[in-house]
Amino acid sequence: AAGEVLARYAQDHGAWPKRIVLDLWGSATMRTGGDDLAQAFALLGCRPTWDLSSNRVSGFEILPLAMLGRPRVDVTLRISGLFRDVFPSQIALFGAATRSVAELDESVDDNPLAGFKGAMLARVFGAAPGAYGVGLGRRISQGQWAGREDLAETYLSATSHAYDGDGDGREAASAFRARVAGADAFVHAQDLPGQDALDADALSEHEGGFAAAAAHVGANPALYHLDSSAPATPKIRPLEQEIARALRGRAANPRWLAGQMRHGHRGAGEIAQSLDNLYAFAALTDAVRSEQFDLMFDATLGDDAVRGFLVRANRQAARHMAGVFEEAERRGFWRSRRNSSASILASLLQEAA
């Protein structure tokens, strides 16, 4: 997975990345046995050492540059609240590896961490102790934001503490802001088969939230969605490409919609959730185009059969979707190419009321 990230970035930008932010969730780490954390070690140029009697990781080994064949990467972890609570020893191990790599006698070109030799390094960040989530989903759905900068500040405020695996962490909001400002790339790994970027609001909160924060602090990092559901063949895509793939392949796919229509009320809710997530990405990033809202509208509310199903099976979902499309148009995310879209939305809101 680390090799795929490096290769894709080099292909896109013609150089190796120096600073990467990895988005780590405790649930994914439990399911995979630590694949995402292993990726962080690999980017640093380290590998774990194992206690064979217990089959547990006991430490790490720093690989020489000659074996890596490329520069080391300064890796920052943005961890979930669950990861913070469940994996303090892994956080401590990553912190020790980062400090050890910073003390190597290597050039800054080969080892960006060498520029921090002797400094207090903070490379693991998350929410304050006892806090969970990012809090963007509800704020976006309720319209409680004037501009993208409001959402960016929400994401940055939700990542206010640095952790080293010992104690409750320390307040370090400014340090995380600096890591976002200096990032060359951001990577979120998705390990569940059948999931995509429009499948869950947590994905738009974390991936989109980082994108908004980076733009807010004047940075323009590459945003990558890593599909690691088949560990032997990981696939990395730019976030914009992953959203387009999820929209074409699932959310606006007539076969998927027909399948959801067989599930009645619940299926209608799933259709509405995909639109919610598309709208959230539009609010947080520049990765969603107006034509993609056209595609989603034509496949759902613009289709007589699907619209009729939504009204019959789940009036609340139908009304909600009409409201989301109207809000997308009001905020400038969507410029409908259909003359009939306004009348369809108006009649739907009246019919579903």
Q: Tens digits of per-residue pLDDT, 242-262?
A: 999 999 999 999 999 999 999
pLDDT mean over 105-118? 93
Question: Over pLDDT 70: what percentage of the chain?
Answer: 99
Q: Is the pLDDT reported for residue 118 higher than 80?
A: no
Burial 154-172 (b: 16+ CB within 10 A, else e): bbbebbbbbbbbeeebeeb
Q: Is the pLDDT reported for residue 117 higher than 90?
A: no
Cβ neighbourhood burial of 117 (10 Å; 0-12, 13-18, 19+)? middle
Least confident of 85-99, 249-263, 337-351: 337-351
Q: Is the pLDDT reported for residue 289 higher than 90?
A: yes
Of 6, 83, 88, 85, give the one whose Cα is nearest residue 44: 6
Angle at 338 between CA 335 and CA 344, to 5 degrees: 100
Q: Is the pLDDT reported for residue 348 higher than 90?
A: no
Other Cβ atoms within 10 Å of 86 Cβ, number: 15
CB 17 within 8 A of CB 70: no
pLDDT mean over 145-174? 93
Comparison of pLDDT for 55 and 60, the residue scoring more: 60
What pLDDT is recorded for position 52? 87
CB 106 within 8 A of CB 65: yes
Q: Is the pLDDT reported for residue 88 higher than 70?
A: yes
Of 130, 133, 95, give the one whose Cα is nearest residue 116: 95
User: What are 275's two structure tokens?
Assistant: 């639109």
Measured between alpha carbons, how far is 46 from 60 in angstroms, rounded to an integer?
6
Angle at 11 between CA 215 and CA 111, to 5 degrees: 75
Average pLDDT, the chain: 94
Mapped onto helix, strand or coil, the DSSP state of residue 21 is strand
The structural domains of the chain, with segments of one domain joined by +, span 2-238, 252-352
Q: Is the pLDDT reported for residue 76 higher than 80?
A: yes
Instruction: Give the pLDDT band (50/70/90) at residue 353.
Output: low
Instruction: Give the pLDDT band (50/70/90) at residue 194.
Output: confident
Of 32, 64, 28, 77, give the one whose Cα is nearest residue 200: 28
Strand partners, 223: 186
Cβ neighbourhood burial of 71 (10 Å; 0-12, 13-18, 19+)? buried
Question: Over pLDDT 90: what percentage of the chain?
Answer: 86
Instruction: Give the pLDDT band (50/70/90) at residue 211.
Output: very high
What pLDDT is recorded for position 352? 58
Q: pTM of the predicted model, to two decimals?
A: 0.94
CB 238 within 8 A of CB 224: yes
Task: Read off the DSSP letter of residue 134.
Answer: -
Mapped onto helix, strand or coil, the DSSP state of residue 176 is helix
293-319 confidence digits (pLDDT tens): 999 999 999 999 999 999 999 999 999
260-286 confidence digits (pLDDT tens): 999 999 999 999 999 999 999 999 999
Longest dimension (CA), the chain: 71
Comparison of pLDDT for 341 and 349, the residue scoring more: 341
pLDDT mean over 324-329? 95
What pLDDT is recorded for position 279? 97
CB 154 within 8 A of CB 139: yes
